[in-house]
């Protein structure tokens, strides 16, 4: 059993390694062939307040970080809550992209935790990287959340018939959403809630993926509804764009004219 001093030393080491991981993985050019864990966006949830150094909240937070860093979570998802209903409640959710599980999970999470330093002493914040997102809150979230969704897209426009491209791309994303929520789409005994593949659109190959957060409440119907909703935002975010994505904390999609997933 660790005493408080040795545990504190180990937590400091974990956070230091997280900073190093961020330096290795934060490559900001997200329009390039993105097989790295590039930083995308963050949001500080200031309405949930701040915590003081040495407080019980900080101890709970560090304890969670230590446990998650040293856990397996082979399916790329983790959700931990402590002190539920109290002022010191800590809720951490992290989700890796569907191709970034197993050994890549630890480096994804380390980068995400280090990135939370962008919201110093805030009890709550969300950070998105190319291969994962981490959400830390002081409240329990048990519903699909669209409040923190955001868009990214290639600044250029497709050549040729833009109307046909938009129609085919949306249909492709809708098909992936159906595949992601099929009962036989299983991984480690759970619904994968993820689908990715490629398809010829016109004369070019389009690569795309959809994914839902594998939370306890994100069962089939809620995942399907979430994906349908963000795909319906395609005309706002991605009209005639050769690459684009909608990201949030409940579901996301992405498509590109280049392979961006690990194989």
Q: Are residues 185 and 126 in the same domain?
A: no
Judging by beta carbons within 10 Å of its beta carbon (0-12, 13-18, 19+), is residue 179 exposed, middle or buried?
Answer: middle
Q: Are residues 57 and 121 in the same domain?
A: yes
Confidence class for position 122, pLDDT limits 50, 70, 90:
very high
Task: Tell whether the torsion through CA atoms of 152, 108, 146 and 137 is positive or negative.
Answer: negative
In a domain, 10, yes or no: no
CATH number (domain holding residue 215): 3.30.430.20
Can you read off the two tokens belonging to residue 248?
A: 């949030």
Please name every residue paired with 77 in a beta bridge, in sequence order, or none if there are none: 95
CA distances from 4 to 8, 11, 91 (A): 6, 10, 22
Q: What percent of the chain has pLDDT over 90?
A: 50
pLDDT at res. 263 = 62
In a domain, 17, yes or no: no
The listed range with the strongest mean pLDDT (104-108, 124-128, 171-175) is 171-175
Q: Does residue 123 carry a pLDDT above 80?
A: yes
Q: Are residues 185 and 247 in the same domain?
A: yes
In a domain, 133, yes or no: yes
Structural domain ending residue among the three candidates 137, 172, 189: 137
Structural domain ending residue among the three candidates 137, 167, 189: 137
In a domain, 76, yes or no: yes
Q: Does residue 165 carry a pLDDT above 90?
A: yes
Q: How many domains does the chain have?
A: 2
Q: Does residue 177 carry a pLDDT above 50?
A: yes
In a domain, 34, yes or no: no
Judging by beta carbons within 10 Å of its beta carbon (0-12, 13-18, 19+), is residue 1 exposed, middle or buried?
Answer: exposed
What gap in Å lies between CA 39 and CA 95, rounded to an integer? 15
Q: Are residues 175 and 218 in the same domain?
A: yes
Please name every residue paired with 137 in a beta bridge, in sequence order, or none if there are none: 91
CA distances from 139 to 49, 89, 90, 133, 151 (A): 11, 7, 7, 18, 25
Q: What is the CA radius of gyration of the chain?
A: 19
What gap in Å lies between CA 243 and CA 263, rounded to an integer? 20
Q: Are residues 155 and 117 in the same domain?
A: no
Q: Are residues 118 and 44 in the same domain?
A: yes
Query: Taking CA 40 as the corner, what is the angle to CA 37 and CA 44, rounded to the nearest 5 degrees?
Result: 120
In a domain, 241, yes or no: yes
Structural domain ending residue among the three candidates 114, 137, 160: 137
Mean per-residue pLDDT over the chain, rounded: 81
Query: What confidence tens digit (pLDDT) does each residue in 212-257 have?
Result: 998 755 666 889 999 999 999 999 999 999 999 999 999 999 999 9
N-terminal to C-terminal alpha carbon distance within the chain: 40
Residue among 259, 212, 181 nearest 95 (CA): 212
Q: Are residues 115 and 160 in the same domain?
A: no
Quote the pTM value.
0.81
Domain that holds residue 115: 39-137
Q: Are residues 158 and 235 in the same domain?
A: yes
Q: Are residues 165 and 247 in the same domain?
A: yes
Say if CB 107 and CB 21 are below 8 A apart. Answer: yes
Query: What confidence tens digit (pLDDT) does each residue in 28-79 have?
Result: 333 333 457 789 999 999 999 999 999 999 999 999 888 887 776 677 888 8
pLDDT at res. 155 = 96
């Amino acid at each position: 059993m660790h005493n408080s001093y040795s545990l504190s030393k180990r937590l400091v080491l974990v956070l230091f390694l997280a900073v190093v991981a961020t330096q290795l993985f934060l490559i900001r050019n997200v329009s390039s062939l993105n097989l790295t864990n590039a930083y995308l966006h963050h949001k500080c949830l200031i309405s949930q307040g701040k915590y003081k150094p040495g407080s019980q909240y900080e101890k709970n937070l560090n304890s969670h970080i230590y446990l998650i860093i040293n856990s397996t979570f082979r399916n790329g998802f983790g959700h931990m809550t402590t002190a539920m209903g109290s002022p010191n409640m800590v809720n951490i959710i992290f989700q890796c992209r569907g191709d970034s599980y197993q050994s890549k999970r630890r480096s994804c999470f380390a980068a995400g935790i280090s990135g939370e330093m962008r919201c110093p002493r805030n009890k709550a914040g969300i950070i998105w990287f190319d291969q994962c997102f981490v959400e830390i809150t002081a409240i329990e979230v048990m519903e699909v959340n669209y409040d923190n969704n955001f868009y990214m897209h290639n600044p250029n426009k497709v050549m040729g018939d833009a109307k046909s491209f938009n129609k085919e791309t949306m249909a492709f994303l809708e098909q992936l959403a159906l595949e992601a929520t099929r009962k036989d789409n299983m991984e480690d005994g759970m619904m994968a809630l993820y689908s990715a593949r490629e398809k010829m659109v016109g004369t070019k190959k389009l690569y795309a993926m959809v994914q839902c957060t594998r939370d306890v409440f994100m069962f089939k119907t809620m995942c399907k509804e979430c994906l349908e909703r963000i795909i319906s935002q395609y005309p706002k975010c991605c009209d005639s764009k050769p690459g684009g994505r909608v990201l949030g904390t409940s579901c996301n999609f992405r498509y590109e004219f280049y392979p961006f997933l690990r194989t």
